[in-house]
């Protein structure tokens, strides 16, 4: 089995699909690993580190993409579409529900694409999305606090206020991993925090953790609207695995917010949960909507690549080893239904219902056969 690790090409994307320690494990299993030169530099991982771990280094991205199994962090972009093939397994974040061009290209190429973000356990947990959601959630507090700076067009409200002056009003939509991270960080900055979710057990967990320090409210349209109109900062974190994120804040509501308010859309990878949202980059992270500033960077954790790379690869490595083992992806998915949920495309067909629904495409009827072992 040849495993390829290309250098990421998105704006300021310094994460890398495998660490040298991961490479050493895979080489020990008998795999050949090809790493594009410079792939790990932004994460503090040198080419010499990879060579010492047993990887073959290449300056040519085509050589890394020529592998049987390609392990990345972010979805392929237009300049990489030509590397996609039918005899290739791609293991990375894909977020296809918000990316029709990539979905179509994967189907045209016949690529077997397994998405980190839809690898899902029976209890609904998303083990490979969780660490990036934690990082993005915590980042939302940092980003939001800075956006409230009046010199950046913000409301001029200090997140934690001071004695005798009210703190910022922070609204978090979603009480999952990212929402919990955002609420925790904002609470730590002494902001006034309100979290919305339809899933009462998730709200109960926050209530148990923070008590009255964080308000938890059942998500209804009216309640969200009232809170958003009072908010200095709104953080959107709502996620439906594999599907387009629900839009919970309309354009009209954004335009009615107080001047200088800020919105951070962590859900932008899946299309965003604010109607005004569109993907931005670390080089140009914000835009204005009404009188508000919107931050919708699609690869937020790339701002902290070393932390993100180590957090991610510690969880992906067991799956990479399984995919590179005897029987390849078919045997790996048949043996592990959690991994099988990650299958998004294969042989020109969509295998994930959420992706199919997002693009009005017919889902494959035989997804479950990959749980039953090689045919």
Neighbours of 326 (CB within 10 A): 9
Between CA 367 and CA 349 the distance in angstroms is: 10
Residue 50: exposed, middle, or buried by beta-carbon count in 10 A (0-12, 13-18, 19+)?
buried
Active site residues: 95, 269
What six digits make up the tokens of 233?
């900062």
Residue showing tokens 């919990």 = 180
Strands 343-346 and 349-350: antiparallel
3-state secondary structure of 295: strand
Between CA 336 and CA 316 the distance in angstroms is: 14
The strand ranges marked E within the chain are 2-5, 32-36, 56-58, 69-71, 89-92, 112-115, 169-173, 192-197, 214-218, 233-236, 262-265, 286-289, 292-295, 343-346, 349-350
Neighbours of 347 (CB within 10 A): 11
CB-CB contact of 216 with 206 (8 Å): yes
CA angle 19, 20, 26 (to 5 degrees): 95
């Amino acid at each position: 089995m040849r495993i390829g690790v290309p250098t990421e090409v998105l704006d300021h994307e310094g994460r890398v699909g495998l660490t040298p320690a991961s490479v050493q494990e895979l080489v020990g299993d008998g795999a050949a690993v090809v790493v594009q030169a410079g792939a790990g530099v932004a994460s503090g991982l040198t080419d010499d580190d990879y060579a010492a771990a047993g990887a073959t280094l290449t300056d040519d991205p085509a050589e890394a993409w020529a592998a049987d199994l390609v392990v990345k962090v972010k979805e392929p972009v237009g300049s990489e579409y030509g590397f996609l093939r039918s005899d290739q397994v791609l293991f990375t974040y894909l977020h296809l529900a918000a990316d029709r061009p990539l979905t179509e290209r994967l189907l045209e190429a016949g690529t077997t694409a397994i998405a980190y973000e839809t690898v899902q356990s029976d209890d609904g947990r998303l083990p490979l999305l969780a660490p990036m959601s934690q990082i993005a959630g915590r980042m939302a507090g940092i980003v939001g606090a800075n956006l409230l700076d009046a010199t950046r067009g913000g409301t001029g409200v200090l997140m934690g206020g001071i004695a005798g002056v009210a703190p910022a009003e922070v609204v978090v939509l979603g009480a999952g991993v990212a929402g919990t991270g955002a609420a925790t960080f904002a609470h730590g900055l002494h902001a006034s925090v309100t979290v919305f979710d339809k899933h009462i057990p998730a709200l109960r967990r926050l209530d148990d953790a923070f008590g009255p320090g964080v308000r938890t409210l059942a998500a209804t349209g009216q309640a969200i609207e009232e809170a958003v109109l009072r908010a200095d900062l709104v953080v959107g974190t709502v996620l439906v695995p594999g599907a387009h994120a629900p839009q919970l804040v309309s354009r009209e509501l954004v335009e009615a917010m107080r001047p200088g308010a800020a919105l951070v859309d962590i859900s932008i990878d899946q299309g965003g949960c604010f109607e005004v949202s569109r993907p931005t980059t670390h080089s140009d992270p914000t835009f204005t909507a009404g009188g508000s500033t919107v931050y919708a960077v699609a690869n937020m954790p790339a701002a902290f690549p070393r932390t993100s790379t180590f957090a991610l690869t510690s969880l992906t490595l067991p799956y990479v080893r399984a995919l590179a083992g005897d029987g390849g992806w078919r045997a790996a998915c048949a043996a592990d239904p959690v991994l099988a949920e990650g299958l998004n495309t294969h042989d020109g067909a969509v295998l994930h219902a959420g992706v199919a629904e997002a693009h009005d495409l017919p889902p494959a009827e035989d997804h479950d056969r990959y749980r039953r072992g090689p045919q």
